Chain A
Amino acid sequence: MTHTVLVTGVSRHIGARVASALAAEPGVGRVIGVDTVPPPSAARDGGCHAGRTEFVRVDLRSPDIAQVIAAADVDVVVHVSLMSGSSRSRSAAKEHNVIGTMQLLGACQRSTTVRRVVVRSTTAVYGSAPNDPAVFTEDGEPVEAPPSGYAKDAGDVEGYVRGLARRRPDVVTSTLRFADFMGPGVDTPLTRYFTQPVPPTVLGFDPRLQFVHEDDGVEVLRRMALEDHPGTFNVAGDGVLLLSQCLRRAGRFSLPVPSPLFRLLGEAARAAGRVDFSPEQLALMCHGRVVDCGRLVRELGWQPKFGTAAAFEDFLRSRGGSGGLTAALADRLSDFAPGRPAPYKDEQ
């Protein structure tokens, strides 16, 4: 039996890549891509959204999505259109995330053909607080649930997925909590942050960060769409980078500012339309977040190809080289030294 897959959010990078990856699968008959806006020109995404994906422009917030699912006998739904609301206003993003998911999952519940639903969520649902455990597992409850913003949307979305799983036990539901995406084609508030000339940091804080490479993200979504893996899974690259380490690897000088000023700067940057800094981003910049991906690795028998550091490295390469000024300075300094530096040996 060949699958008919519905992918939401295909007008953005990850959605488009997932759609084209699925379209290339022999077991997939049709891929229907939906989004509220038409996909950008093929040139921008390197043509990767083209292929056999049929695009249907549907506002997820309207009940039209049910008709699409019914008309095409969709049996797999991959919902990747969750967005952090970078360009639009917060309320529009919330409407898109929460109401859109309600409509989509409502349609899935009614449908007689849908067998599998894969939903993209985020590790932001764990929040970011000083009194949390250092590493989150899927069962862990955050000490403070995120009170607002993108993270709350994702929490609500996960709630609706659990509702669907309860009401339609015959439908396999997978929820994927992704760490921040990183890679050549990724454009998020965080990637824009790292391309600032002098990124501000919060004075006295050095958060632990984790990234997932876009290739790995697409691969996880592809596998989840084609096989039954019910449950909730964290998805992140192996290892951890500290924010200070990221900035050093990017060869950038940072500007430590006290947290109230950091918030103000964020607001100003948002008003100027440069970077989007939401309160949850401020929390992330203070306390960081690390998740355990053991369950995903065990379930799929597969490990993300890129670790956190490798994903960041790949991102830096795509944005024009890493190292930069600080590395050059250190190299110049070593030139004056008479001996050759011994490489640091680390057995681990």
Chain B
Amino acid sequence: MCDVTRTSEEGSPGVPGDARERPGEERLAELLAFLRRRVTGEYEVDEFGFDPELNDKVLLELLRPFYRHWFRVETSGLQNIPAESGALVVANHSGTLPVDALMLQVALHDEAHRPVRLLGADLVYQLPVLAHLARKNGHTLACPEDADRLLRKGELVGVFPEGFKGVGKPFSDRYKLQRFGRGGFAASAIRAGVPIIPCAIVGAEEIYPKVGDVPALARLLGLPYLPITPFFPWLGPLGLVPLPSKWLIEFGEPIMTDHYDPIDADDPMLVFNLTDQVRETIQSRVDALRLRRGPAFPSFF
């Protein structure tokens, strides 16, 4: 995966004399080779439809300016991400639109050098274009079968247990974690014996402050909510530009599950307790991180 980013350095032959004029030529040759692979279909996708090359060279490339310059994301606790083995990253969800999922993906890909396989809502997989883009990005439907399969394969799986309750909560409830579903993620982690990495994301709450909702129209469109922000729908498409809040993403100490028996995944009390433990950990880290960040926007804003 990460070798894709390295190709440019590896590809340059050890001819120091050419060093000045080569990069441009080489980049062009590389671009053409890339185009050729794309138009002839000579690339691999995994059984979930993940296309690492497209993800790195095209999709993430579009997100990187947002990650670096718009939200100025700072990460910490990257040492808690295992280098190779499977793990389940559990994060808080917010922001009206799931931009936090995209930024988490950039953070883990570029800084921890691991593609994250997010488990998404049904709604995503029912929409044309988006469903297949999500699959090419490495993500899949949030269901126990897929989660177990990815974790067994040693993948880094990411999940937002709050779901729509989290991402669509009103601005007044910001940084208050919602209920963590039925704890399916905890059961999956126990079954696979992989560590749970609590992840706190601060900054996503302010990108689209949801101050109102049009439930009737949302129902009509089959959406979980139809947000009203100070800028949307008043400014039209311009209202879709996220506000440039300052972001912090922290990966906490792994919560081990390998001392449980896989059978314990069927014990609801144990699963609920583990779910609560993860939720409280994330809430406390979110609170601490929010204090550390200070105001979301520079003072002149």
Contacts and interface: CB of A to CB of B under 8 A. Distances in A.
Nearest to B131: A130
B39 A342 contact: no
Contacts of A327: 36, 39-40
Contact of B33 (A205, A329, A344): A344
Interface stretch (A2-10, A185-193, A239-247): A239-247
B45 A240 contact: yes
A134 B32 contact: no
B33 A334 contact: yes
Chain A interface residue bracket vs B? 35 or more
A170 to B, nearest CB: 34
Q: Is the interface of B mostly helix, strand, loop or mixed?
A: helix
B40 A326 contact: yes
A339 B37 contact: no
B11 interface: yes
Interface in A231-255: 239-242, 244-249, 251
A120 interface: no
A333 interface: yes
B258 to A, nearest CB: 23
B205 to A, nearest CB: 29
Given A133-B143, A135-B145, A327-B40, A346 B3 contact: yes
B40 A208 contact: no
A133 B36 CA distance: 32
A248 B39 CA distance: 6
Interface string A277-304: 0000000000010101000000000000
Nearest to A343: B33
Contact of B41 (A239, A246, A288, A346): A246
B49 interface: yes
A203 interface: yes
A114 to B, nearest CB: 36
Given A133-B146, A135-B146, A334 B36 contact: yes
Nearest to A330: B36
Contact of A131 (B39, B47, B122): B122
A331 interface: yes
Contacts of A290: 47
Contacts of B125: 130-131
B83 interface: no
A235 to B, nearest CB: 15
Contacts of A45: none
Contacts of B126: 130-131
Contact of A206 (B28, B48, B132): B132
A292 B148 CA distance: 13
Contact of B26 (A240, A245, A331, A339): A339
B32 A337 contact: yes
A347 interface: yes
20 contacts: A131-B122, A131-B143, A134-B135, A134-B149, A206-B49, A208-B45, A239-B47, A241-B41, A249-B42, A323-B40, A327-B36, A337-B28, A338-B29, A340-B29, A341-B29, A341-B30, A342-B11, A343-B33, A344-B43, A346-B44
